[in-house]
């Protein structure tokens, strides 16, 4: 992040991070944005570095926003009280998680832990809401893409549920 | 030294160092405070202004203006408005102060002193007591004039802050997100989401509170001005500069419980100084008018515009207003309640965060714990 004092005005360099730009372009909720809009989104993102085995989010914590893995790998884990935790997913560079938390503060449904040193960017609900107010056209574009992503995921879940149900019925009759 | 004694010893040492560090920080703040007080007050004013103006700037930005231009437009408009109001009000105030000063310096005090001396001589046959009383009165008069002189000496500093405060405000609005980003980037990962969430919640609640207070002050100011205008119409202008006095009442209204009373004093004092023929009736109407404005404010305006998240006990308000007054005079009194409100909101949000975020270490995240985790791979 730029220094807010020396990075101001004429001293600020126009630095374009092409890697991040390409990475964001691959994320479904930002894929429809033009370069200028992606630059605007980049301004309100937070870049973090996590060490191996360091938790990124914890199951049960209030949801705040989504994370995109720039470099490294992350495991999504369901924590169980009895200690038998279940790995739900292993995510690599360019993957994202926690996007539902952009909509509300519901508790996180799983934990995320860095399985190697990670470079991650976070995009959070308060900044997103602020963007929706300040730049409604851009905000609505992101919101619409987010709705589309969640809709597709819901459709896939429905299909999987139907398949499981059909398999169960077939097993029961056969 | 056995293991337990060593642990106890190191724990006591840790507590001692923490305590020492806290004392050192407090001492540092206390020693530095007198030197940085003025800058700190300017920063607080600029920050409050940035909170007030941000929604307008955001609105202009949403209409397609660049943020920098939006801030400039809003600030130029505000400065023009303030400048215009001052150009209308200040000459009047100066005239009043001059008139008052000359009255105090010349006839009034002399006549008054003679009257008192005569009164004491006649009734108590004690000229010395009379002289003592008049000497004391003269002293009070001189002190009053001196403090007026001090006020005008401070005008220079005031004008300097009139330039510096807008500059700070400009950068606080323009780069607030970057400042927040820099602060939050220094927070350890464990507290990152918690801090970010608390920061946003505090910012939102404090913003709503300050904006609500400002809207409330403007409405109370306008209602008081209208009331004083009507009283002036009815009673042959007993309260000149009613716009200024009305707006002052609006600003004073920002201090709960104390403000409404303080707000009425300038109007009553001006009426007494003007000494109209039906003074008693005028004073009664001024009191009724301010009571009515308060009733309207409490019943309709305040519940609608002022956030309830910063409700405070009257005793707390009185204590913090006194402390604020001791630290930074009238400005301190005005800002004591909002600043205490900020502390209250922040602490309640921190408590909320500590309750809702799992900050304790879990066996899941300990080294090698992953080997115990079984599951399916869904890469």
CATH of the domain at A22: 2.60.120.10
Average per-residue pLDDT for chain A: 85
Please answer yes or no on whether B197 and A62 come within 8 Å at the CB atom: yes
Model confidence at A119: pLDDT above 70: yes
Please answer yes or no on whether A87 and B193 come within 8 Å at the CB atom: no
The pLDDT, as a whole number, for residue B148 is 58
Distance CA B297, CA B294 (A): 5
What torsion do the CA atoms of B205, B208, B213, B217 make, to the nearest 10 degrees? 170
Residue of B59, B64, B172, B373 to mutate, testing the A interface (most A Cβ within 10 Å of its Cβ): B373
Q: Does A97 touch chain B (CB under 8 A)?
A: no
Measured in angstroms, the CA of B200 and the nearest CA of chain A are apart by 7
Nearest to A103 by CA among A69, A151, A157: A151
Domain boundaries, chain B: 37-177, 184-357
A residues 106..165 contacting B (CB < 8 A): 111, 113, 115, 124, 126-127, 130, 133-136
Model confidence at B152: pLDDT above 60: no
Position A1 in a domain = no
Please answer yes or no on whether B197 and A64 come within 8 Å at the CB atom: yes
Average per-residue pLDDT for chain B: 78
The pLDDT, as a whole number, for residue B272 is 81
Please compute the mean of the pLDDT values over residues A46-65 and round it to a whole number.
91
Nearest CA in chain A to B56: A134
Distance CA B329, CA B151 (A): 12
**Position A127 confidence tier, pLDDT thresholds 50, 70, 90:** very high
Q: Are B46 and B172 in contact (CB under 8 A)?
A: yes
Q: Are B207 and B54 in contact (CB under 8 A)?
A: yes
Model confidence at A144: pLDDT above 90: yes
Please indicate whether residue B306 or residue A78 has the higher confidence score (pLDDT): A78
Nearest to B365 among A47, A84, A113 (CB): A113
Nearest to A43 by CA among A76, A95, A5, A1: A1
Measured in angstroms, the CA of A166 and the nearest CA of chain B are apart by 23
Please give the backbone phi and psi of residue A111, each rounded to the nearest 5 degrees, phi first.
-95, 160
Position A2 in a domain = no
Distance CA A52, CA B370 (A): 11
Q: Are B220 and B250 in contact (CB under 8 A)?
A: yes
Partners of residue A4 in chain B, C-beta under 8 Å = 175, 178-179, 182
The pLDDT, as a whole number, for residue B8 is 81
Nearest to B364 among A43, A111, A115 (CB): A111
What torsion do the CA atoms of B367, B370, B372, B377 make, to the nearest 10 degrees? -170
Please indicate whether residue B40 or residue B227 has the higher confidence score (pLDDT): B227
Please compute the mean of the pLDDT values over residues A37-50 and round it to a whole number.
91
Q: Does A71 touch chain B (CB under 8 A)?
A: no
B residues 82..111 contacting A (CB < 8 A): none
Instruction: State the residue range of the domain holding A152.
Output: 15-173
The pLDDT, as a whole number, for residue B357 is 86
Position A6 in a domain = no
Distance CA B361, CA B363 (A): 7
In the DSSP assignment, the letter for residue A106 is P
pTM over 0.90: no
The pLDDT, as a whole number, for residue B265 is 85
The number of domains in chain A is 1
Distance CA A66, CA A126 (A): 12
**Position B149 confidence tier, pLDDT thresholds 50, 70, 90:** low
**Position B374 confidence tier, pLDDT thresholds 50, 70, 90:** very low
Q: Are B61 and A135 in contact (CB under 8 A)?
A: yes
Please answer yes or no on whether B62 and A55 come within 8 Å at the CB atom: no
Partners of residue B365 in chain A, C-beta under 8 Å = 53-55, 113
What's the complex ipTM? 0.81
Q: What is the pLDDT of residues A90-102, one digit of tens each?
A: 998 888 898 889 9
Nearest CA in chain A to B54: A134
Taking CB atoms and an 8 Å cut-off, how many pairs form between chains A and B? 105
Partners of residue A58 in chain B, C-beta under 8 Å = 357-358, 362
């Amino acid at each position: 992040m730029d220094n807010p004092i020396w990075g101001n005005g004429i001293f600020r360099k126009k630095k374009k991070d092409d890697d991040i730009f390409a990475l964001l372009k691959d994320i479904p909720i930002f894929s429809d944005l033009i370069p200028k809009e992606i630059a605007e989104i980049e301004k309100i993102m937070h870049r973090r570095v996590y060490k191996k085995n360091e938790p990124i989010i914890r199951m049960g914590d209030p949801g705040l926003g989504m994370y995109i893995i720039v470099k490294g790998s992350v495991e999504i884990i369901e924590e169980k009280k009895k200690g038998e935790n279940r790995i739900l997913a292993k995510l690599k560079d360019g993957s994202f998680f926690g996007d539902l938390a952009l909509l509300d503060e519901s508790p996180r449904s799983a934990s995320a832990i860095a399985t190697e040193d990670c470079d991650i960017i976070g995009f959070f609900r308060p900044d997103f809401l602020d963007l929706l107010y300040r730049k409604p056209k851009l905000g609505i574009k992101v919101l619409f893409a987010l709705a589309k992503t969640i809709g597709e995921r819901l459709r896939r879940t429905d299909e999987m549920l139907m398949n499981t149900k059909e398999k169960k019925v077939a097993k029961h009759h056969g | 030294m056995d293991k337990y004694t060593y642990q106890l010893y190191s724990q006591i040492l840790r507590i001692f160092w923490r305590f020492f560090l806290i004392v050192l920080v407090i001492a540092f703040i206390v020693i530095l405070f007198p030197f940085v007080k003025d800058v700190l007050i300017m920063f607080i004013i600029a920050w409050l202004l940035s909170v007030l103006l941000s929604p307008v700037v955001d609105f202009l930005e949403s209409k397609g203006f660049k943020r920098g231009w939006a801030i400039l437009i809003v600030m130029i408009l505000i400065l023009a408005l303030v400048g215009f109001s001052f150009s209308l009000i200040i000459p009047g105030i100066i005239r009043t102060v001059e008139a008052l000063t000359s009255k105090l310096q010349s006839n009034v005090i002399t006549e008054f002193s003679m009257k008192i001396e005569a009164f004491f001589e006649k009734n108590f046959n004690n000229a010395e007591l009379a002289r003592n009383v008049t000497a004391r009165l003269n002293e009070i008069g001189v002190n009053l004039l001196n403090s007026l002189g001090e006020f005008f000496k401070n005008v220079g500093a005031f004008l300097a802050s009139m330039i510096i405060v807008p500059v700070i405000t400009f950068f606080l609005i323009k780069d607030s997100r970057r400042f927040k980003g820099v602060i939050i980037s220094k927070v350890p990962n464990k507290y990152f989401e918690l801090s970010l969430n608390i920061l946003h919640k505090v910012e939102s609640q404090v913003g709503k509170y300050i904006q609500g207070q400002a809207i409330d002050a403007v409405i109370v100011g306008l209602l008081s001005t209208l009331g004083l205008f009507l009283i002036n119409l009815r009673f042959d202008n007993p309260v000149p500069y009613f716009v200024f006095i009305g707006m002052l009442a609006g600003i004073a209204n920002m201090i709960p419980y104390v403000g409404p009373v303080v707000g009425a004093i300038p109007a009553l004092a001006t009426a007494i100084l003007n000494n109209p023929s039906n003074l008693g009736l005028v004073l009664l109407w001024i009191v009724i008018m301010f009571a009515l404005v308060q009733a309207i404010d409490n019943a309709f305006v305040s519940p609608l515009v002022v956030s309830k998240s910063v409700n405070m006990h009257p005793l707390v308000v009185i204590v913090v207003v006194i402390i604020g007054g001791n630290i930074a005079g009238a400005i301190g009194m005005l800002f004591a309640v909002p600043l205490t409100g900020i502390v209250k909101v922040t602490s309640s949000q921190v408590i909320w965060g500590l309750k809702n975020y799992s900050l304790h270490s879990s066996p899941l995240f300990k080294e090698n714990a992953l080997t115990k985790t079984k599951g399916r791979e869904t890469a």
